[in-house]
Structures are given as structure tokens and as C-alpha cells.
A and B are shown apart, each in its own frame.
Chain A
Amino acid sequence: TIGMLAIDQDGHVAAGTSTNGLTHKVPGRVGDSPIVGAGAYADSEAGAAAATGDGDVMMRFLPSYLAVELMRAGADPSTACKTAISRIKRHYSEFFGAIICANTTGHYGAACNKVPGLSQFRFMVANTESDAPLLKSVDC
């Protein structure tokens, strides 16, 4: 799955996702990616967030919506992301998942849940700081 956030210099914000979902899923199964507030959420007054992972679990907690609302209340993107992850972890300690967050000033962050196979989450950033996209990572 790819989840993407874009913010232009005028503060317009958009978010998007695209995935082919879980392998061997039951036919008809839809994951979190296309569910607004779960796979992604954008509000030009607060910022945007996008999630990836075990969509069957993550969608139940609307992590992208929660992260944007926390940023609207003044949380920095990293804190907003971590809080969204810990909300899920409280119920599903072993869930596989990660989230990226960005606010309207161009600050960004990410968080993930540490499980076997996911101890570090890598994501891409492009802004005026460098010509080419930068590979970033956070420890889970």
C-alpha cells in the first residue's frame, strides 16, 4: 500500500492511497485504505495523515482522522502519529501497522507498532530541503 500526503506552498492539502490489499483475502474484502479517516484523511485547516498495515484492525480506530484532529488541537505530527498507533495497540498489541502525519506548516512525522518483521518504518519525503526525494525512517 501507498499512502501519500501533499501540501503546497499555499497550504492546500490532499491525501490518497492505493493498494491491492491482503494476499489470500476472502473475495469482496475491502481494507482500510479506501475508508476515509482510516486509510487517509486531509483537512487544509489542520493537516493530513495516511496509514498502512493490517487494515481489518486499523480501520476500526480511524487512525488518520484521529491524527488530524490531534494536530488540529495543537499536537505535533510525530506525537499525533504515536497517539494514533498507541490507541490501536491498547486493543491489539501485536497489530502490524504504521502511519505518516503532516501539518499545515510542513512539519511531518511517522510512527509504527513494533512487531516481528517491523522494527523500523521507512517513508519518503520531498520538500525544498533537497532536490531528490529523501528516505526517512522511524524506529517502531
Chain B
Amino acid sequence: RASLPLVINTWPFKDATAAAWDALQSGGSVLDAVEKGCARCETEQCDGSVGYGGSPDETGETTLDAMIMNGDTMEVGAVGDLKRIKNAVGVARAVMEYTSHTMLVGESASLFAENMGFIAEDLTTNKSMNIFSQWLKGNCQPNYRKNVFPDPSQYCGPYKPRATLQPNKMRRHANTHSHD
């Protein structure tokens, strides 16, 4: 049986569902519901795959990606490779509401966020630092490099491009603990 209103979200992030549902029930818009639901996961660092202190990159930095879309107007706000700002989905909504762009990325997206009043803070935690240091100790495995030397399946970088490209036989590393 179908019924409206409806909130649905990936993974068993129950607090996020509840936050979105409460937003709807207290008269908020569907945009408010999605923003509040996703922001709850950013705050709670849902299973380490959302928000600050997770998924450090090859330099140990945590960066965030987020988007929000209004199905009535087809407007979209998105941020990619966002640094130093915890509320990524809030910045995505700011892109939608304070620019006529769709997506801002990287350091410039962070400066835009600061100009719009978002607080700049360190997204690194002891946990993400520990993940990073263990990775370095394990010869930087796994990584997402290919056709470079030294052999990325054995060694850390820095890497240089190989003269010849090998056929794409790369084993993919996304899993329950590391995914988008």
C-alpha cells in the first residue's frame, strides 16, 4: 500500500529518516526534509561513510560531496571535494539558493561556504588519522592508481606514468566500508 508523505533513504540510518520525517511533519518542505535528514548523518558520521572524520584520501584529508535537488523546479545545488566545512548538504543548498550554478568544487567551494556563513573547521579526527597511518604502514594498499610506477599494488607513491598502458584489469575496492 502506498501512502504520502514518504521519506526513504539508503542504508539503515534511522536517525536521518526520523529527522527528515519530523521536518515534514512540522510543516517543512521536502527540501527541508532532505537537507535535515542528510545533515543528521553528517553530524552523526553515519557508518563512517558520511561527514567529517572518515574516508581520508591519499594525503589523509577528509573531503565531502553532496547534492540536493528540487523536483518541482528541477533546481540543483551540489558540492564536490569540499574541504573544511562539515555541513556539505547545507552548502549544496546554498549553491542552489545563492547562485545560479549547479555545482561548486574544492577549495573555492569552501571559500564560497565561508562567505555564506558556514564555519570552517578541521574535518580530520583521530579515527581518520589512524585509518591514514595504518594505510601508509601497509604500503598504501588499496589505492586507485594504475599504469604507473612504482607498482601501485606493492608500493606507495609518488608515482610516475608508465610508457605503455596495461589492459584494464583493475580490481575495484569499493565495499560496505568504503563507498559513495
Interface, chain A (partner B; CB < 8 A): 1-9, 11-36, 39-45, 48, 50-58, 92, 94-98, 100, 102, 105-108, 117-118, 122-129, 132-133, 135
Contact of A19 among B49, B56, B59 (CB under 8 A): B49
From DSSP, what is the main secondary structure of chain B's interface residues? Answer: mixed
Q: Is B12 an interface residue (CB 8 A)?
A: yes
Q: Are B8 and A9 in contact (CB under 8 A)?
A: no
User: How far, in whole Å, are A19 and B8 apart by their CA atoms in the complex?
Assistant: 17
Mask: chain B, 41-70; 1 = CB below 8 Å from A; 0 = not: 110001011111011111101111111111
User: How far, in whole Å, are A92 and B174 apart by their CA atoms in the complex?
Assistant: 13
Q: Which 6 A-B pairs have the closest CB atoms?
A: A55-B180, A13-B71, A54-B174, A42-B71, A31-B180, A30-B80
- In the assembled complex, the CB of B153 is this many whole angstroms from the nearest CB of chain A, namely 13
Q: Are B8 and A52 in contact (CB under 8 A)?
A: no
Q: Are B8 and A18 in contact (CB under 8 A)?
A: no
- In the assembled complex, the CB of A69 is this many whole angstroms from the nearest CB of chain B, namely 13
Q: Tell me whether A34 and B57 are in contact in the complex, defined as CB-CB below 8 angstroms, given that A18-B38, A58-B180 are known contacts.
A: no
The residues of A that contact B54 with a CB separation of less than 8 Å are: 20, 23
Contact of A25 among B5, B58, B140 (CB under 8 A): B58
The residues of B that contact A29 with a CB separation of less than 8 Å are: 57, 81, 144
**Residue among A7, A14, A17, A41 facing the most chain B CB atoms (10 A cut-off):** A17
Interface size, chain B (Cβ < 8 Å): 84
Which of B110-125 touch A at CB < 8 Å? none
Beyond the given A6-B24, A9-B5, A100-B8, could you list 20 further A-B residue pairs with CB under 8 A, ordered by the A residue number? A1-B49, A6-B20, A12-B71, A14-B29, A14-B34, A26-B144, A34-B66, A34-B67, A34-B80, A36-B67, A36-B78, A40-B67, A50-B9, A57-B172, A102-B8, A108-B8, A126-B21, A128-B3, A132-B18, A133-B21
